């Protein structure tokens, strides 16, 4: 088959990867000169520990296996199985971690509660004071800023992949036979897959005017290189409040006993931190749900993140090199991993994985390919 994939982010790229791997020809169209959305404005985390049990966790675990396999085939994506430590301070956060260990799928997630000394055995850079840490062995990371070009380069070597950036798809051809872009060029194919991320206007709105997807804005930052290895990804106890696996009585007791401070409450914040291959630290993040989003970034969340990160590391952070905001698409029904819908003959829309896009995209694309009989 000849498959037209619209959208150059990680979800679109993984759909293209699935089609090429299965022997099909792919034309891959992206409206920017290079992907600039949430796919490159994130941590690059393959995050298993906090996923909801059932389909979401199954999808994440399958994607984790696929990331490892793709990483062996394409070293340029920078995959590493570094695991994560969620650092607990106070009895209430420790209780949430202990409750996670009682989950029936805790072993699949690779969860273990560590003492501070044991945690520093995994990550000696954590010199700050804390009471325990929840280790998730299955978590990993990829280099989000370079993974997509590396995957495209490998697909191009197949001779069955064409990358067309700087083109916006405006129309579908009759009966699902392809698309027309804003250069006036027609791209014929047997199947069209739209993976347009947070771009939900234009053609997407025309095809799916009642799309059950919302947009979420985040703020993040990256530092200059740290002069030592941060050998695991790191989260603070506030992250318990934002991942469904930790819901329950222990989390409610934490919320009641220790409300978040005003800044993290206002910006719906958690600390996530991962080291890039160049040594810099990517640190975040915030969550904003009400549109219209502001066009600028707020300095208060960055100040808070620096304070929390320095407390965990027990040392000053390197200078902050970059700050940015990003927007991703999330299904309104957050119990669903993604929204997948046939919007026209031969045309499918796949969007809305939310903050799970980098983690789950390989398995989401695999399921799409299976569903469509590729």
What is the per-residue pLDDT across 218-269, written as a single tens digit (0 to 9) for each?
Answer: 999 999 999 999 999 999 999 999 999 999 999 999 999 999 999 999 999 9
Percentage of residues of the chain with pLDDT beyond 70? 100
CATH number at residue 144: 3.50.50.60
- Do 126 and 252 fall into the same domain? yes
Cα gap 170→179, rounded to integer Å: 8
- Do 167 and 252 fall into the same domain? no
For 308-336, what is each residue's pLDDT tens digit? 999 999 999 999 999 999 999 999 998 89
DSSP state of 32: S
For 274-310, what is each residue's pLDDT tens digit? 999 999 999 999 999 999 999 999 999 999 999 999 9
According to the model, what pLDDT value does residue 331 have? 96
Number of domains in the chain: 2
What secondary structure does DSSP assign to 230-282, as a single string? --SEEEEGGGGGG-GGG-SHHHHHHHHHSPPPHHHHHTT---EEEE-TTS-EE
- Do 6 and 106 fall into the same domain? no
CATH number at residue 318: 3.30.9.10
Averaged pLDDT score across all residues of the chain: 97
Domain that holds residue 206: 1-80+140-212+336-374
Could you tell me the pTM of the whole model?
0.97
Cα gap 356→45, rounded to integer Å: 9
CA 283 to chain CA centroid, Å, is 14
Taking only Cα atoms into account, the Rg of the chain, rounded to an integer number of angstroms, comes to 21
According to the model, what pLDDT value does residue 335 have? 85
* Nearest of 23, 31, 30 to residue 8 by alpha carbon: 30
Cα gap 9→105, rounded to integer Å: 31
Answer yes or no: is pLDDT of 175 > 90: no
Cα gap 15→238, rounded to integer Å: 33
């Amino acid at each position: 088959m000849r498959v037209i994939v619209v959208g150059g982010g990680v979800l679109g790229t993984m759909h293209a990867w699935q089609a090429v791997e299965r022997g099909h020809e792919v034309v891959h169209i992206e409206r920017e000169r290079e992907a600039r959305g949430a796919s490159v404005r994130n941590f690059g985390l393959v995050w298993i520990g906090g996923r909801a049990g059932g389909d979401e966790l199954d999808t994440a675990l399958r994607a984790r296996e696929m990331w490892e396999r793709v990483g062996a085939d394409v070293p340029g994506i920078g995959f590493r199985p570094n695991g994560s430590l969620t650092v607990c301070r106070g009895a209430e956060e420790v209780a949430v971690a202990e409750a996670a260990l009682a989950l029936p799928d805790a072993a699949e997630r690779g969860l273990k509660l560590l003492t501070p000394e044991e945690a520093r055995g995994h990550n000696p850079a954590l010199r700050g004071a804390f009471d325990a840490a929840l280790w998730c062995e299955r978590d990993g990371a990829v280099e989000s800023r370079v993974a997509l070009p590396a995957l495209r380069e490998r697909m191009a070597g197949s001779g069955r992949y064409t990358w067309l950036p700087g083109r916006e798809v405006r129309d579908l051809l009759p009966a699902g036979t392809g698309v027309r872009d804003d250069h006036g060029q027609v791209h014929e194919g047997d199947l069209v897959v739209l993976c347009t991320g947070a771009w939900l206007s234009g053609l997407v709105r025309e095809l799916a005017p009642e799309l059950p997807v919302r947009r979420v804005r985040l703020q993040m930052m990256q530092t200059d290189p740290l002069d030592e290895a941060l050998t695991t990804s790191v989260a603070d106890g506030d992250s318990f409040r934002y991942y469904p696996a930790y819901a329950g009585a222990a989390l409610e007791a934490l919320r009641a006993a220790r409300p978040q401070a005003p800044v993290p409450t206002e910006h719906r914040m958690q600390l996530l931190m991962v080291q890039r291959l160049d040594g810099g630290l990517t640190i975040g993040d915030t969550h904003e749900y009400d549109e219209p989003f502001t066009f600028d970034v707020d300095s208060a969340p960055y100040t808070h993140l620096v304070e929390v990160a320095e407390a965990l590391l027990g040392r000053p952070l390197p200078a902050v090199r970059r700050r940015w905001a990003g927007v991703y698409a999330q299904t309104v029904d957050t119990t669903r991993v993604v929204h997948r819908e046939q919007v026209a003959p031969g045309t499918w829309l796949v969007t809305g994985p939310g903050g799970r896009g980098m983690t789950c995209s390989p398995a989401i694309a695999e399921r799409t390919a299976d569903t469509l009989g590729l």
